[in-house]
Structures are given as C-alpha cells and as structure tokens.
Amino acid sequence: MEAAYLLCSIISTTLISFSLSLLLSFRLLFHCLFPRSRTTDETASVALYDGTVWHERRRPVHHSFKYSVRYAFIDLDRTPHSPPHHLSPQQARDIAQTNGPVFLLTIPPSVGYEQNPLSIYYCYSKEGSTTTLNKCIAEVTNTPWGERVQFLFNPNSDVVAKPLHVSPFMDMLGNWSIRTTTPGDNLVVNISVKHPKLGDYFTASLRANRVSSSSIDHAVFFWLMPHKVALWIYWHALKLWWKNVVFIQHPRYGNPSYKEDAMARDRSLACCQAFAVGRNESGQVEKSSESDFDSDVNKNNRWFKWTDAKWPWC
C-alpha cells in the first residue's frame, strides 16, 4: 500500500509540477510584456541564499555527497505572505522566550511541491538598540513520511537527543550536535551525529552565500528546488541500499513510545538544563486534537513538538 501510494504520489506530483511550470512560463512572458515593480515589503522581507549541502556517512560504510541548494531567509514580522504550515513569529517568540524579530530559513514550495528536510527559525532578542541572535528552533521533516519535529536549540552549540526517524538507514540512538552562524553575507549550519556504537559517524552541513534579490523572480530562483532535494534523497537512499546498509523499520512499529524515549534521553544531556521551556510539570507528553505532540512550559526541559504523518504513512 505505501509503495503504491508513493508511486502514485510521484506521478501526480510530476504532472502537477509540469502543468504549473507551463503556467509559470506564461506568467514570466506576461511580466516581460507588462513589467511591474515589486513592493518594498516583498523585496525587504526575504533574503536569498545560494549554497551547498554536504553529507558524509563514515560507518558502517563510507558514503558522501553534496548538492547545490537555495534557501529563503524570511522576516516573518514583515513578510506580506506568511509561509503556510510554519510557526507564526509570535509563536516562535513565545517558544524561544525572545522579544525581537524572527526569521525563517526554508526552501519555499515550487510549482505545487514542497520538500523541506530542515527549516530553522532564528529568534533574536532586543535590548535597547542592540539586536542579537538568542535562540533557534529547528524544524525537521522526514521523507517520505512527512512527519515533523520542532525543537529549541542554542545556535552557538547544542546537543539534542535524536527525536525523529529521518532515514531508514539510521536507528533512533544517538545525539545530534547542531550549531549555526548568525546569517549575514554567508550562512553555515553544521550537524553531526554521535552514536553509542558507531561513534561520530555522520556529518551534514549547509554553507551558503547571500545573493542580491532585487531583480530576481523568486518563482524562477526556486524553480524545482524541492524536487531536486527529493531526487537526491531517494537516489542516495538507493545507493545505501545497494551498499548493503541495513534497512531499519520505522520505530513506531517496534517502539510506539520512541518520542517519550527521545525526551527522556534529552533530559539526561547536561547541556539542555539551561533551557526554560518544555513540557508539563509531570514531564508527560500531551497529544493535541491535531495529532501533534505538544508541551507546556517547564524550566527543566527542552521544548519539543511532533507532528504525525498523514495517511497512508500513519
């Protein structure tokens, strides 16, 4: 059933994206004939980054690759069009307990398709005339299930217990070490995975440079970007399978409480004790009406939120 759904999804996405790409070409032709100037809000609220994602797996077999990627860095307080399926700026401020602007680093949808393995909210604090990056919120989405986890982290350096099944070739053990620079003319995000048996066996990084966006049509800049990311994910999954890396079933089949286990492991990490947001006082996860695992404020725990997969992956 899941394999059939995936095949049908690929076919329908291809047809929809092809049709919308044709419409995009007609729209570009129309704008060439009848040019219009973009508003100040449209240009000032979004910065564009062009860069490279690099992955390296060192054990149990060596496998590495890199690909070009494009990201939008959106000022959520100023954008005239809030990105769908993401946090609002006030929600992000409440989670991070900051009082300044909030920016979202993400790959926007293109011609009817969205593929966003990692988005990051940059939450700034204001003190007088000074604005500094204080906290970040990671938003990780797995493929093909479409499950999502959001969690708070320190951008300078942090260690988080692995909270999501991001790959069928990785188990749920281990911790993510994550850090990011303050976005400016360039941007760097580094993530490494430390496993209790395999050690430091996986590293991923994003290195990007800011590009001028005053004369760039965003629909053209991000055309088929999500599709390219998905292609790389599936292609390298096939290569790992070919290299006989063990295929690991989703933990919901063997350990339905894997989310609670991840939070328990995260509580044991000493670097997490400084965070001021988390779950309820009993430390239990509460399930919302939208099938999300959410949490209330607790000074001893990191804030996590899970969004379950939709049919037929659930």
Strand 292-294 and strand 158-161: pairing?
unpaired
Once rounded to an integer, what is the mean pLDDT over residues 287-305? 54
- Please, which contacts does 112-116 make with residues 24 or more away whose CB atoms are closer than 8 Å? 112/13, 112/16, 112/17, 112/20, 113/13, 113/16, 113/17, 113/226, 113/227, 113/230, 114/85, 114/226, 115/143, 115/226, 115/227, 115/229, 115/230, 115/233, 116/141, 116/226, 116/229
d(CA 93, CA 114): 25
Q: Are residues 11 and 86 in the same domain?
A: no
Once rounded to an integer, what is the mean pLDDT over residues 181-204? 94
At residue 6, does pLDDT exceed 50? yes
Instruction: Evaluate whether residue 42 is within a structural domain.
Output: yes
Q: Which of 130, 56, 156, 87 is nearest to 303 (CA)?
A: 87
Strand 63-75 and strand 46-57: pairing?
antiparallel
User: In the 8-state DSSP scheme, what is residue 18?
Assistant: H
Instruction: Evaluate whether residue 228 is within a structural domain.
Output: yes
d(CA 233, CA 222): 18
- Give the count of domains, the chain: 2
Q: Are residues 32 and 42 in the same domain?
A: no
Q: Are residues 216 and 92 in the same domain?
A: yes
Q: Are residues 220 and 302 in the same domain?
A: yes
Check residue 279 and give its pLDDT: 40
Q: Which of 282, 310, 303 is nearest to 93 (CA)?
A: 303
Instruction: Evaluate whether residue 313 is within a structural domain.
Output: no
Q: Are residues 155 and 277 in the same domain?
A: yes
Most distant pair of Cα atoms in the chain: their distance: 63
d(CA 43, CA 75): 11
Instruction: Evaluate whether residue 314 is within a structural domain.
Output: no
The token pair at 60 is 């149990």
d(CA 227, CA 231): 6
Instruction: Evaluate whether residue 262 is within a structural domain.
Output: yes
Look over the chain and give the mean of its residue pLDDT values, rounded to a whole number.
Answer: 84
Check residue 300 and give its pLDDT: 52
Q: Are residues 21 and 49 in the same domain?
A: no
pLDDT tens, residue by residue, 204-260:
999 999 998 766 788 889 998 999 999 999 999 999 999 999 999 899 888 889 999
pLDDT tens, residue by residue, 65-85:
999 999 999 999 999 888 888
Q: Are residues 31 and 120 in the same domain?
A: no
pLDDT grade, residue 1 (50/70/90)?
low
Q: Are residues 95 and 209 in the same domain?
A: yes
pLDDT tens, residue by residue, 100-117:
999 999 999 988 889 899
Instruction: Evaluate whether residue 312 is within a structural domain.
Output: no
Q: Are residues 284 and 152 in the same domain?
A: yes
What sections of 196-281 are H helices per DSSP?
A: 218-221, 225-242, 251-254, 258-267
Instruction: Evaluate whether residue 199 is within a structural domain.
Output: yes
Q: Are residues 24 and 170 in the same domain?
A: no
d(CA 11, CA 101): 40
Give the residue, 8 or 261, on which the prediction is more confident. Answer: 261
| Domain interval for residue 205 | 38-307
Question: What residues pair up with 203 in beta bridges, in sequence order?
Answer: 56, 192
- Amino acid, single-letter form, for residue 166: V
Q: Are residues 28 and 123 in the same domain?
A: no
Q: Per-residue b/e over 103-132, b at no fewer than 16 CB within 10 Å?
A: bbbbbbbbbbbbbbbbbbbbbbbeeeeeee
- For residues 263 and 277, the answer to whether their CB atoms sit within 8 Å is no
Q: Are residues 136 and 240 in the same domain?
A: yes
Among 25-29, 33-37, 118-122, 124-128, the range scoring the smallest mean pLDDT is 33-37
Instruction: Evaluate whether residue 8 is within a structural domain.
Output: yes
